[in-house]
C-alpha cells in the first residue's frame, strides 16, 4: 500500500500544470538545444572583438536577441515542417505533431519573438547586428525550409548558411562593422555544418526517407557520404587555422584547433573505414562523430574567447 502511495505521489509530481505545459510547448518550438550551438559561436567572438571582456549589457542584449531570432526561425520551421515531423520518429514529439500548439498560434509566436529580437539587438547593440539576425532568419525560413529542404540533397550545405551568422552578429555588436575574423569564423561554421548534419542523417536515414527529405545519406550510399564528411571535416580544420594569422591569435587557439581538429578528422576516417567495410545503419556508428563535432566547435570557440585574454 505504501509503495502504491509513493508511486502515485511521484506520478503527481511529474504532472505539469497547464501553464507550465504551455510554456514548455512554446519553448520547444524554439529548439533550445539547436540554439545552444548558435550562442556558443556568438559570445566568444565578442571577446575576440573586444580583445578582452565585452560590455556585459551589449553581450546580454546580443545573446537574448540572438536566442529570440534563432527561436523565431526554428518556430517557423516547425510550422512549415509539421507534416514531416509527424512522420519521423525523431521529431514526432514536437509540439505541432502532438497538437499541443496550434499552427496559427505558433506562427504568431514566431512573428512576435522575431520582432522582439530585432528590437532588442537594435536598441541593445546596433542595427547592423539586428539586420544580420533578420537576414539569417529570412534565409533559414525562405531559402532552406521552403526552397531547399524538400528538393535537393544540398539543402544542408546551402541551408546551413543561416547558422553561420552568429559570429558576424557577435562581432558587429561590439565593433559596429564587419571584419575578416568573423568572416573566417562564418566559413568555419559553414564547412562544419555538413559533416555534423550528415552524421546525424546517417543515424536517422530511415526517418528522413520516411519524411521525404532528400538528405545526402538518403540519396547516396554510406561510403560516398563518408567521403564527403571527411572532405568537409578536413576543410573545416584548415579553415579554423586561418584565424590564427588573420586575428593575430596567441598560442592557445592554434593548439586547440590542431588537437581538437585531429580528433575530428580521426572520427571521420573511422566512419569512412566502417562504411567501406560494408557496415550499415547502427553498425556504422556515426554518432561519435556527431557528438565530437559539437565538442569540437565548442572547444574552438572557447579558445576564441580565452585566447585574447592571455598575455
Residue range 118-154, pLDDT digits in tens = 999 999 999 999 999 999 999 999 999 999 999 999 9
Closest residue by Cα to residue 65 from 39, 26, 47:
39
Cα angle value 61/66/68 (rounded, 5°): 100
14: confidence class by pLDDT, cuts 50, 70, 90? low
Q: And the C-alpha cell for 220?
A: 547516396
Q: And the C-alpha cell for 309?
A: 585574454
Closest residue by Cα to residue 169 from 112, 131, 225:
131
Residue range 275-300, pLDDT digits in tens = 999 887 778 999 999 999 999 999 99
Q: b/e map of 77-96 (b: 16 or more CB within 10 Å)?
A: bbbbbbebbebbeebeebbb
Place of cell 570557440: 301
pLDDT of residue 1: 46
Q: And the C-alpha cell for 249?
A: 591569435
Q: And the C-alpha cell for 191?
A: 564547412
Residue range 145-156, pLDDT digits in tens = 999 999 999 999
Least confident of 14-28, 86-100, 174-188: 14-28
What structural domains and CATH numbers belong to the chain? 19-154 (1.10.357), 179-311 (1.20.120)
Residues 284 and 230: beta-carbon distance below 8 Å: no
- % pLDDT > 70, the chain: 95
- Average pLDDT over the chain reads 92
Q: And the C-alpha cell for 199?
A: 552524421
Q: Is the pLDDT of residue 10 over 70?
A: no
- % pLDDT > 90, the chain: 84
Closest residue by Cα to residue 57 from 122, 124, 121, 120:
124
Q: And the C-alpha cell for 57?
A: 549589457
The Cα–Cα gap between 300 and 292 comes to 12
- What are the CA-CA distances from residue 174 to residues 40, 223, 244, 272 (Å)? 16, 44, 20, 41
Place of cell 538528405: 215
Conformational region of residue 94, where left means phi above 0, alpha means psi within -120 to 50, and beta covers everything else: beta
pLDDT of residue 104: 96
Phi, psi of 176, deg, nearest 5: 80, 5
Residue range 198-246, pLDDT digits in tens = 999 999 999 999 989 999 999 999 999 999 999 999 999 999 999 999 9
102: confidence class by pLDDT, cuts 50, 70, 90? very high
pLDDT of residue 16: 66
Mean pLDDT, rounded, for 50-77: 95
User: Which runs of consecutive H residues, i.e. helices, occur in the chain?
Assistant: 2-14, 18-29, 32-40, 43-50, 56-80, 82-87, 103-124, 127-138, 155-159, 165-175, 180-203, 205-211, 216-219, 222-246, 252-276, 287-306
- Separation of first and last alpha carbons in the chain: 66
Burial of 239 (0-12, 13-18, 19+ CB in 10 A): buried
13: confidence class by pLDDT, cuts 50, 70, 90? very low
Find the largest Cα–Cα distance for the chain.
70
Place of cell 571584419: 179
Amino acid at each position: 500500500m505504501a509503495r502504491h502511495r509513493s508511486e502515485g505521489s511521484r506520478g503527481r509530481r511529474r504532472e505539469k500544470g497547464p501553464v507550465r505545459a504551455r510554456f514548455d510547448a512554446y519553448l520547444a518550438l524554439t529548439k533550445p538545444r539547436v540554439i545552444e550551438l548558435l550562442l556558443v559561436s556568438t559570445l566568444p567572438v565578442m571577446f575576440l572583438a573586444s580583445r578582452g571582456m565585452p560590455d556585459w549589457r551589449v553581450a546580454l542584449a546580443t545573446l537574448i536577441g540572438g536566442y529570440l531570432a534563432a527561436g523565431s526561425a526554428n518556430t517557423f520551421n516547425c510550422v512549415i515542417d509539421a507534416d514531416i515531423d509527424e512522420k519521423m520518429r525523431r521529431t514526432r514529439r514536437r509540439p505541432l505533431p502532438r497538437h499541443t500548439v496550434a499552427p496559427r498560434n505558433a506562427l504568431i509566436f514566431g512573428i512576435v519573438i522575431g520582432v522582439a529580437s530585432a528590437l532588442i539587438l537594435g536598441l541593445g547593440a546596433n542595427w547592423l547586428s539586428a539586420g544580420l539576425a533578420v537576414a539569417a532568419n529570412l534565409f533559414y525560413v525562405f531559402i532552406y525550409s521552403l526552397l531547399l529542404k524538400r528538393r535537393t540533397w544540398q539543402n544542408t550545405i546551402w541551408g546551413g548558411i543561416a547558422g553561420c551568422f552568429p559570429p558576424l552578429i557577435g562581432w558587429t555588436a561590439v565593433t559596429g562593422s564587419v571584419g575578416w575574423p568573423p568572416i573566417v569564423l562564418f566559413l568555419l561554421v559553414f564547412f562544419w555544418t555538413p559533416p555534423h548534419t550528415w552524421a546525424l542523417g546517417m543515424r536517422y536515414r530511415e526517418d528522413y526517407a520516411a519524411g521525404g527529405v532528400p538528405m545526402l545519406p538518403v540519396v547516396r550510399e554510406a561510403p560516398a557520404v563518408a567521403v564527403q564528411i571527411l572532405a568537409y571535416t578536413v576543410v573545416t580544420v584548415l579553415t579554423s587555422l586561418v584565424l590564427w594569422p588573420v586575428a593575430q591569435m596567441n598560442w592557445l587557439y592554434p593548439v586547440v584547433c590542431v588537437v581538437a581538429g585531429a580528433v575530428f578528422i580521426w572520427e571521420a576516417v573511422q566512419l569512412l573505414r566502417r562504411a567501406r567495410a560494408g557496415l550499415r545503419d547502427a553498425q556504422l556508428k556515426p554518432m561519435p562523430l556527431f557528438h565530437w563535432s559539437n565538442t569540437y566547435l565548442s572547444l574552438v570557440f572557447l579558445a576564441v574567447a580565452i585566447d585574447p585574454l592571455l598575455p
